[in-house]
Amino acid sequence: MSDHESEHEHHHANSRPLSEVELRVKALEQVLTEKGLVDPDAVDAIIETYEEKVGPRNGSRVVARAWSDPEYKKRLLKDGTSAIAELGYSGIQGEDMVVIENTADVHNLLVCTLCSCYPWPTLGLPPVWYKSAPYRSRAVSEPRKVLEEFGVSLPANTEIRVWDSTAELRYMVLPERPSGTDDMDEEALAELITRDSMIGVERLKPIDKGAS
């Protein structure tokens, strides 16, 4: 996790009151910690792993397949649920999926304004900032500014489209394929794709072959 993201998540995590469930979980964690049965750092490490590594690997494989197989990409953009299921990813929180493609002229951003609906089968656990009230409201009212805070500066003529997930329908962004990746296979491409790029708060950087 980058310093920027850590600060961003910390800011949002403290910008909203904890829910009843979150309060119960924290109380339970505190009791277990005091009894020496739980190491808070270990719990945080496990959560971070599932948020940023294990969960999003499914989505990264979907994107890599779409980048490598034009016919699969067509199916993915036409019927995201079925195309994602072709790779074995489906289930609760991912029953109805729509995949939207980032292009040179259009940038897509995901949010859930009512709560924190999120495509678990493809992206894993939702990050803290995605569930926060400030992100949920500002992503709609001032998406360009929110993106800039994540380090994404878009040309003034780039159209930004915000997609609001619901309990019935969830979205996933198909990022632009970075330049310099033409000779990479699916496995190598999947390693380039991040969770944040599939939410829309990150743009993947071109590959500089001379830097290797």
Active-site choice (117, 132, 165, 197): 117
Q: What is the pLDDT of residues 108-143, one digit of tens each?
A: 999 999 888 899 889 988 888 999 999 999 999 999
Report the number of distinct structural domains present in the chain: 1
132, part of any domain: yes
210 within a domain of the structure (yes/no): no
Cross-strand pairs, 177: none
pLDDT (tens digit, 9 = 90+) per residue, 43-88? 666 566 555 555 689 999 999 999 999 999 999 999 999 999 999 9
112 tagged catalytic: yes
Q: Does 211 reside within a domain?
A: no
The domain that contains 12 carries what CATH number? 3.90.330.10
Would residue 115 show up in a list of annotated catalytic residues for this protein? yes
Residue 116 lies in a domain: yes
Tell me if 166 is assigned to some domain. Answer: yes
Please determine, for residue 22, whether its predicted confidence score (pLDDT) is greater than 70: no
pLDDT at 10 over 90: no
Q: Is residue 105 part of a domain?
A: yes
- pLDDT at position 11 is 41
- pLDDT for 6 beyond 50: no
Catalytic option among 15, 82, 115, 137: 115
In a domain, 209, yes or no: no
Domain that holds residue 194: 3-204
Residue 116 annotated in active site: yes
